[in-house]
A and B are shown apart, each in its own frame.
Chain A
Amino acid sequence: MIAFVIRRIIQAFIVIFIISVIGFAVKQSVGDPVREMTGISVSAEELQEFREKLGLNDPWYVQYVRFLGKAVQGDLGNSFFYKRPATDVILEKAPATLELVFVSSLIVILFSVPLGVFSAIRPNHFLSRFLMSGSIVGVSIPVFLTAIMMIYVFSVKLGWLPSFGRGELVMIGGWDSGLLTVDGWLHILMPSVALSSIMLPLFIRLIRAEMMEVLESEYIKFAWAKGLSNRRIWFVHAFKNTLLPVITVGGVQLGVTIAFTILTETVFQWQGLGFMFMEAVERSDSPLLVAYLMFVGIVMVVVNTIVDLIYGLVNPTIRISGASS
């Protein structure tokens, strides 16, 4: 197990290293920091002097090491637009996105597990058939279209739910939370449902497929032959084995979820990281772009590593031998 953990952590560091190189490359190629700082009314000599002072004439690897050194300390430069450290802007916007991802993951888990398991153990039930055909329609509707249609129905036509923003927020310990007020929940309802609309059908299908495969296995047949109750076989024997592949895919899907937060936040003008990212793109705010890239990269690597470790805990084969399968 220890060997397994160490190997995962080394891998995580390699990936973070690669992300930092990409971040650096983006920083180098997008926008000119000197131009941003000085404006246009500066002579060529002064500009050159300024570049020298900022170390922009050093070879790229010297600049990279400097970039990395600062990045480790959390300094990714100042946002051109906000005129503040990019890291601060990221940390200020992160709660909105994290809450959105949290609520929609909750929706996905709460619905996909029972529905997926049900359609695996009762494959011919009309509800299972409905879920299967419904889920393929579900994955074929883009998130932003779901969001737009929801806004049209629930905000424009019925006027039940607010169409943009986070609503009333409560500040606790530097964290702007919308989950503590009724207004906040009304605001997060549509964005989180829209965000989960792409994951939910995917997970229902995945859980169903894995569970059906497990139910065909010899050890499940043996469990029947032992005279165990249906519930024990489905929820202990089969479900535990179903979880393994679902956990791995779940880790990968986090990346997809974050990508979709960009779309969801754009539609609902949700003041989170995704919305900030699109604004930064429009304004060519390269420090903020790089900060977002690094932040998302690190979150993704951390979550994937945790997912792998959980996988190791659930899967006894890895726990002992340290060999991943």
Chain B
Amino acid sequence: MSSILNCIRADDVMATLLEVKDLVVKFALRGGDVTATNGVSFDLARGERLGLVGESGAGKSVTGFSIINLISQPGYIASGSVNFHGENLATMSAARLRTIRGNRISMIFQDPMMTLNPVLTIGTQMIETLMAHNLQMCKERARGIALEKLRKVHIPSPERRLEQYPHEFSGGMRQRIIIAIALLTDPELIIADEPTTALDVTIQAEIMDLLIELCETEGMGMILMLDTCRCRSGNWTLAVMYLRRTGY
């Protein structure tokens, strides 16, 4: 199954954005190490979209988190590399890594009900992201950008919504907000970890379409983890994860 279905042939043809090589992630447990991924490899070109398909427990989420080096304790990257523009994220300093996370690589989590901080307003959670990555950013400009992105994900009356707390939104709305947060800094790559599994079936298609549409208009690369092959539109590279490895 090593067929590249269709690649974007833009001017910067095949300039490699991300290169994951022989990634091995382990979890240090009481009884010894447990391997979560065992030799994951794939490449991603600028603006390319990769679907990472596999059953639950195959190691998709772990792969996604290990790209931005954010595996929860006691997990760790045992070997392999994640090269982003030729720089290895797996060995990068925490400070340098922070300039990439949420800025050049954004992530969308599985369960929108759990992803937003319940005691902070949507506005705070959006503005802080912009301010963290641009020291010259003032609050007013950040607010403007946040509003623009909320409109992009079709949130009605975003000015009012900015002042509200997560619990005032439905699951679908929250996932739109999370997508808007991911878009804030115009990242080069979005990693979406099963972004629709926690949602109602009727909303799933909506969110998926929105995500693909945005990727196309903004020209972002995307890695989408899914448990089933169900994408209806767009150009996709597919990788299948099975038994903690990738195959094409």
User: A and B: direct contact (Cβ < 8 Å)?
Assistant: yes
Binding site for B on A (CB under 8 A): 216-229, 232, 236-237, 240-241, 244, 314-317, 320
- Please tell me if B15 contacts chain A, counting CB pairs below 8 Å: no
A229 touches B98 (CB 8 A): yes
- Please tell me if B111 contacts chain A, counting CB pairs below 8 Å: yes
Size class of the B contact interface (CB-based, 8 Å): 20 to 34
Given the known inter-chain contacts A218-B109, A221-B109, A320-B168, please indicate yes or no for A228 contacting B129, CB distance below 8 A: yes
A236 touches B120 (CB 8 A): yes
- Please tell me if B132 contacts chain A, counting CB pairs below 8 Å: yes
CA distance A315 to B117 in the complex (A): 11
Q: Which chain A residues border B114 with CB–CB below 8 Å?
A: 217-219
Residue of A nearest to B113 (CB): A218
Which of the candidate stretches B3-11, B100-108, B147-155, B204-212 sits at the interface with the other chain? Answer: B100-108
Given the known inter-chain contacts A216-B72, A218-B109, A218-B115, please indicate yes or no for A227 contacting B120, CB distance below 8 A: no
- Sample of 7 further A-B pairs with CB below 8 A, known A219-B114, A219-B117, A226-B101: A226-B106, A227-B99, A227-B100, A227-B132, A228-B132, A316-B121, A316-B165
- Please tell me if B77 contacts chain A, counting CB pairs below 8 Å: no
Q: Which of A218, A227, A315, A317 contacts B129 (CB 8 A)?
A: A227
Residue of A nearest to B178 (CB): A222
Chain A nearest CB, measured from B6 CB (Å): 29
- Please tell me if B181 contacts chain A, counting CB pairs below 8 Å: yes
B103 touches A227 (CB 8 A): yes
Q: Which chain A residues border B25 with CB–CB below 8 Å?
A: none
Residue of B nearest to A223 (CB): B117
Chain A nearest CB, measured from B243 CB (Å): 26
CA distance A152 to B101 in the complex (A): 57
Q: Which chain A residues border B116 with CB–CB below 8 Å?
A: 219, 222
Indicate with 1 or 0, residue by residue over B104-138, a CB within 8 angstroms of chain A CB atoms.
00110101001111111100000011001100000
- Please tell me if B70 contacts chain A, counting CB pairs below 8 Å: yes
Q: Which of A220, A223, A240, A244 has the most CB of B within 10 A?
A: A223
Q: Which of B106, B107, B128 contacts A232 (CB 8 A)?
A: B128
- Please tell me if B146 contacts chain A, counting CB pairs below 8 Å: no
- Please tell me if B139 contacts chain A, counting CB pairs below 8 Å: no
Binding site for A on B (CB under 8 A): 68, 70, 72, 98-103, 106-107, 109, 111, 114-121, 128-129, 132-133, 165, 167-168, 178, 181
B100 touches A222 (CB 8 A): no
Main secondary structure on A side of the interface with B: helix
Q: Which chain B residues border A317 with CB–CB below 8 Å?
A: 118, 165, 167
Q: Which of A224, A227, A241, A320 has the most CB of B within 10 A?
A: A227
Residue of A nearest to B165 (CB): A316
Q: Which of B102, B117, B165 contacts A227 (CB 8 A)?
A: B102
Q: Which chain A residues border B98 with CB–CB below 8 Å?
A: 227-229
CA distance A223 to B101 in the complex (A): 10
B109 touches A226 (CB 8 A): no
CA distance A244 to B119 in the complex (A): 10
Chain B nearest CB, measured from A311 CB (Å): 12
Q: Which of B68, B117, B168 contacts A225 (CB 8 A)?
A: B68
CA distance A218 to B112 in the complex (A): 9
B119 touches A228 (CB 8 A): no
Residue of B nearest to A219 (CB): B117
Residue of B nearest to A315 (CB): B119
A222 touches B167 (CB 8 A): no
Q: Which of B99, B102, B118 contacts A316 (CB 8 A)?
A: B118
Q: Which chain A residues border B118 with CB–CB below 8 Å?
A: 219, 241, 316-317
CA distance A309 to B111 in the complex (A): 31
Chain A nearest CB, measured from B97 CB (Å): 8
Residue of B nearest to A317 (CB): B167
B111 touches A226 (CB 8 A): no
Residue of A nearest to B167 (CB): A317
28 contacts between A and B (CB under 8 A): A217-B114, A218-B109, A218-B115, A219-B115, A221-B70, A221-B72, A222-B107, A225-B101, A225-B102, A225-B107, A226-B129, A226-B181, A227-B98, A227-B99, A227-B133, A228-B98, A228-B129, A229-B132, A240-B117, A240-B119, A240-B120, A241-B117, A241-B118, A316-B119, A317-B165, A320-B165, A320-B167, A320-B168
Chain A nearest CB, measured from B225 CB (Å): 14
Q: Which chain B residues border A241 with CB–CB below 8 Å?
A: 117-119
Chain A nearest CB, measured from B39 CB (Å): 24
